[in-house]
Amino acid sequence: MTPRHRHARRWGALALTAALAIPLAGCGERIGDLLGSGDPSTPTTTQAPTPTDSPSTDRPTPTRTASPTPSRTASPTQPPTTPTTSPTQQPSPTATPTQSPTPTQSPTQSPKPRTTLQYGDRGDKVLQLQQRLSDLGYWLGTPDGHFGGLTQQAVFALQKAAGLSRDGVVGPKTMAALNAGTRPSSKAGGTGVEIALDRQLLLIVRDGKVVRILNTSTGNGERYVSRGTEKTARTPRGSWSVYRMVDALETSDLGKLYRPAYYDRGYAVHGSSSIPPFPASHGCARVSNAAMDSIWANGFMTVGTKVTVYN
């Protein structure tokens, strides 16, 4: 083969290779770009078509000057998106809890004044009470407007005489008995001392008239032991005369006796610091120490004084 024939054959092979290479272009590339369309001395920048463009094979793609890369702003075909601002919500007014209607209250009334008198009270009403008790013979010392222990003892005695509850408080019933002038009378008559067991009262009697009324506490009926012998705490009934008096605080195996006046063996009328309105002794008749002082001071009990005990 001559050199000319070999050269012609080489160019034919190259042309065939180029024709076969055209269908191998990648998806989205332009054929003209592969063939070097345009002025090779002035390189141009081409832009890949958008997916909606159909590739053209019958004519070269016109040269396009590359547009600057668009900024990340909204497309001019669409109005710029105005960020939606949630409307500022006004704070909902705090709902005031519905309150139940306040029940109509009765006008405030001042507390009613207490109508009773009792231990610890002071004042004119107490003084009037003391004076009335003293007038009726219920001994309480000198009226001073103070509801103390001696006044309470006198109230006990009044309540016993009237057959009322023995609480030492001057309520309506006790006040009614006071206003009615309630007081016990003598059973033995004459002059002496009477001890009424049923009412627990000690009466000072002069010429058949009760001149002094005292609260007393006698034998409670319970069993006790004295000097090795078991006995019953009782106050014997009967009539005796005082045979011995001790102007002192005498101590025995059963307790202390203040200025006792003995009338039957070991039984006596004596002072004590505890005189409840009910039977509580071993058999003697207790009165307050102040009352015993008054008995001594007024000579209501001396040796030979008659003592009568009954129900």
Rg of the Cα trace of the chain? Answer: 65
Alpha helix stretches (DSSP H) within 77-191: 124-136, 149-162, 172-179
Cβ within 8 Å of residue 213, ≥6 positions away: 136, 137, 138, 139, 157, 161, 183, 184, 201, 202, 203, 204
CA dist 293 and 130 (Å) reads 19
Cβ within 8 Å of residue 154, ≥6 positions away: 130, 133, 134, 138, 139, 140, 215
Instruction: Report residue 136's pLDDT band, with 50, 70 and 90 as the boundaries.
Output: very high
β-bridge partners, 239: 308
In CATH, 124-179 is 1.10.101.10: yes
Around 53, how many Cα atoms within 13 Å sit in the side-chain half-sphere?
A: 12
Instruction: Report residue 34's pLDDT band, with 50, 70 and 90 as the boundaries.
Output: very low
Is 124-179's fold the same as 216-303's? no
What's the pLDDT tens digit per position in 241-275? 999 999 999 998 888 999 999 999 999 999 999 99
Which CATH architecture fits 216-303? Answer: Beta Barrel (2.40)
pLDDT computed for residue 76 by the predictor: 41
Q: Which two tokens stand for residue 311?
A: 């129900």
pLDDT computed for residue 254 by the predictor: 85
What's the pLDDT tens digit per position in 191-245? 999 999 999 999 999 999 999 999 999 999 999 998 889 999 999 999 999 999 9
Report phi then psi at 213, rounded to 5: -125, 125
Domain boundaries, the chain: 124-179, 216-303
Q: What percent of the chain has pLDDT over 70?
A: 64
Measure the CA angle with vertex 189, ends 184 and 192; round to 5°.
90
CA dist 70 and 98 (Å) reads 63
Q: Which of 269, 281, 260, 272 is nearest to 309 (CA)?
A: 269
Q: Which long-range contacts (CB under 8 A, 24 or more apart) does 288-295 make?
A: 288/149, 288/150, 288/153, 288/214, 288/215, 289/258, 290/141, 290/150, 291/139, 291/150, 291/153, 291/214, 292/258, 292/259, 293/259, 294/139, 294/141, 295/204, 295/261, 295/269
pLDDT computed for residue 98 by the predictor: 54
